[in-house]
Structure 1
Amino acid sequence: MRFRVLWILFSLPFTFLPTASSQAITVSPFGVNVSTFSATSVYLTFRGLDNQRAAEALWCGEINANNSCVPGTIYGRLPRKYDRGTVSSPDNYTDIMTIPPSVARRAYQDAARGNSPEFFYVRRFASTIGGADEYVAVTCRLAGYSARVPLSLTNVRLRFENTDPAVLGVVRGQTPPPFQAKITYNGSGRLRGRWEVVLPGDTPPNTRDLLPAASLPPEQRGLQRRYTLLEPIDVFLPPTGQVVLRGPDPAKLPQVSSGLHLILLRVEATNDEDAANSQTGLTTVFTGGVAGSPLPVLRYYVGNRDGIGQIKTKMSQIQLLLPNQSAKIPTNQPVSFNWRESQGASAYKLEVESDKKPILSAVLNANTTSYTAPPWLQEKAGDTLRWRVQAIAPGGTTIGQSEWSEFQFQKSSN
């Protein structure tokens, strides 16, 4: 009888035999340490796409057998402004996983309640020919500020010392003040790159040019525009999370041509072998120095003394509406930021700081003149916060900004 059963099974057509489902798409790295208390960016390579496109990406505490998120355990969705995924070869997909602090906080709260300190980043890939969707999961392990966290830049601010104008006016023949980059980061490792300057008449940098090289697939890294070199950079970043990088001697800044100049901090990709280098199937991609958004630029305008005096009039002043200066906001009430529209803006950038340190940044489209802050901002009750809004033109140029306005969350007396 046993032989008859076996004969029947093997005589069935092959297409009717049950087969174990196997996931065609793989990811490298498939597991990574992430910061518990701040944003983390990680370069990922999804391999083996076959008539599939990347769909949404979620973070969750538990996954099903097919790697999809278990309902009720979702921490958040990859924000559109951080979605820098791109097809990098016929069957590969490059993704920059930027974990917002709010997601890390949810995962930490779950771990504090006795759940696993691991959570998952899940990308869904939809078939373009009517097949089933595939889910690919990356394991994220909370690791404090460990040096084993990928070297990623979470915030970069460029400024001239002792002044913070949107555009610094420089009279020809006078040396500008020193400048610096204040960098917040995760992990540790070498930061390599260069300071460059965009001269009047040069093709302005686009978004790809302003991204660190580690945020691009390997075939696009060599396509970033190069500009006039000021000075190379090669420093070691210890696992302290913050560094002030001094710029070159300001006497090196060109002043031959009148007009707007842009100072760029260009960051190369470095070997992050211990944390998060990625395998494409053909080669190893260095990912040290990755970031989830383009790096800012520093602007100065060279002209005669009369022309310099007119620079401020070229920057439109954005009027803030709510909250009012020195407003006291109850902690049980969400805060909504409101401002007046600025002509020519293609986007707005809202910034919130505590003790002059960035704690919230949001980029909004030109049709939006309000923003409701996430609930975690109310945890800053008692601190004096300040906010401002910048107007961004196509290409990333700042064409207007508001003054800083302070407010506080007032602790409830109950």
Structure 2
Amino acid sequence: MNIQAIKEQFPILQQEVNGHPLVYLDSAASSQKPRSVIDAISRYYETDHSNVHRGVHTLGSRATEAYEGAREKVASFLNAAHPEEIVFTRGTTTALNLVASSYARSVCKEGDEIVITPMEHHSNLIPWQQAAKATGATLKYIPLQPDGSLSLADVEKTITPNTKVVSVTYVSNVLGVVNPIKEITAIAHRNGAVMVVDGAQSTAHLKIDVQDLDCDFYAFSGHKMCGPTGIGALYGKKSLLEKMEPIEYGGEMIDFVDLYESTWKDVPYRFEGGTPIIAGAVGLGAAIDFLQQIGLDEIDKHERRLAAYAYDKLTAMDGITVYGPSSNRVGLVTFNLGDIHPHDVATVLDSEGVAVRAGHHCCQPLMRWLNVSATARASFYLYNTEEDIDRLADALLKTKEFFGHAIG
């Protein structure tokens, strides 16, 4: 990979922040967008915009072709068996809520179990809390190992024949740990449960094959993988999607409407009520083209090198605590600097042109497990280099000097 050539395709990275060349280390929150994605969205609005599916005029046909073409790209990208197994959503959160509200609430009852982990993002925790409360099911957690990873022995103990749904993040947005999703899926299926995967942090970095994983549902967001905000998708096995009821009602998702009864379109359209996110889908399709040109395997290797380099660099610095496993982590490092609040750390880093995340990262239960209120997080993507991590380390040294009294 020619990282410099890749970086040059991202207009936003060609700027200075606070008098320093920008080092963007917040891609786990939202990645930046290459020129090809920006141009694809602009081109759609300039030449092809119309509503989809209903219009028979030329622009309507072009827009429909672009929208459904994006669906086919997503299906191919995930190796789904059928394009209709891809439901466009606003992102991972909406996709997971769809499964929890439509599927889980229809199959779970008192005495059943929903199994998740303490490392889940709030978007893969709160929907299951609400589904459990609504159905009387019990919410159970697979315990974490001391380094934040999962043990398959614990997975085996936690999932039982009473378990109806297992939902686990593929990659933790705090710890960077890569969970053994294929093995967890097999355990879930042996017990008669369906497997839901939060792919928000994995889809941009790992080559995903939903048929090989054999998961039943897989959710992801476009904005973390070089695509625009406001677009994502839910993959669901067709046989399961066909049994699910929509949770939003209106135009586009109906087949027949009478005064007192209505019927729904086939999947996936029954879940895409109203005018869909057409430009977002076009941008997502362009992002997939961009990532596939580079190669997900190459991106994964590059990020793992950066994560290992950053882990070694930061753990060698006095006063810094790094969280999560020392190996098998995708491109991020979460840390704290002595007793300095992460927001203060991030503010000083920003003054040096280094952008990181600070806070609880929508993982408050995991923060409590780590025995901290918040952390700082540096996350890497295909446009980052070892020099960016060196800039981070240098900025952290300046932060230590500035808050020297607070370093234990």
- TM category (shorter chain) comes to under 0.3
Q: TM-score, normalised by structure 2?
A: 0.26
Larger Rg: 1
Q: Which structure has the higher relative contact order (CA within 8 Å, separation 6+)?
A: 2
Greater fraction strand: 1
